[in-house]
């Protein structure tokens, strides 16, 4: 239950999700979110070092990484305890997956969050980012699997790339 223990301690902790496009972070103090934000994943090392330099009272950092960041770099620039999310750490659920090590750290973290937020409930977790993932965890806290598909940008790009007469579409985000 490493996630819950780190978040609920009465100290400052960082949760960092390094994604293919964006890296999202939340800073917790005494079990509450103090701040959060987004960094461009291509600049995550610099952003992390700046954050670390300005937050010397941080105790622990949970890192979910899908791009294969250099772990030794992060370990060299912080004095905080680092927890790298993987199927090998203690989790609040059982992974019923053929090869658990192939499951992405982002998906492992999202399922852990679902188990904490909705205990003893069946949960379908949908994450929309560079890819769209669907993961299912049972009310008995057993991860039963999921799927991954191209995200919206990949889908839009493939329409013009893989057809002869359809135009390249622009993604627009409505204000409401």
- Positions marked active-site: 106
- In the three-class reduction of DSSP (H, G, I as helix; E, B as strand; rest coil), residue 39 is classed as strand
Rounded to an integer, what distance in angstroms lies between the CA atom of residue 87 and that of residue 143? 11
H helices, E strands: number in the chain: 5, 9
Which of 128, 174, 135 shows the shortest CA–CA distance to 151? 128
Rounded to an integer, what distance in angstroms lies between the CA atom of residue 100 and that of residue 95? 7
């Amino acid at each position: 239950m490493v996630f819950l223990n780190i978040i609920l301690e009465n100290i400052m902790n960082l949760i960092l999700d390094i994604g293919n496009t964006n890296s999202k972070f939340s800073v917790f103090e005494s079990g509450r979110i103090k701040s959060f934000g987004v960094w461009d994943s291509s600049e995550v090392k610099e952003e992390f070092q700046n954050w670390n330099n300005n937050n010397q009272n941080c105790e622990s950092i949970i890192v979910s990484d899908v791009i294969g960041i250099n772990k030794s770099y992060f370990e060299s620039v912080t004095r905080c305890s680092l927890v790298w999310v993987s199927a090998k750490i203690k989790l609040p659920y059982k992974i019923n997956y053929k090869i658990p090590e192939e499951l992405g750290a982002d998906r492992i973290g999202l399922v852990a969050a679902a188990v904490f937020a909705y205990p003893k409930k069946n949960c379908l977790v949908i994450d929309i980012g560079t890819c769209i993932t669907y993961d299912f965890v049972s009310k008995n806290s057993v991860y039963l699997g999921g799927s991954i598909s191209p995200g919206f940008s990949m889908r839009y790009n493939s329409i013009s790339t893989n057809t002869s007469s359809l135009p390249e579409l622009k993604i627009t985000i409505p204000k409401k």
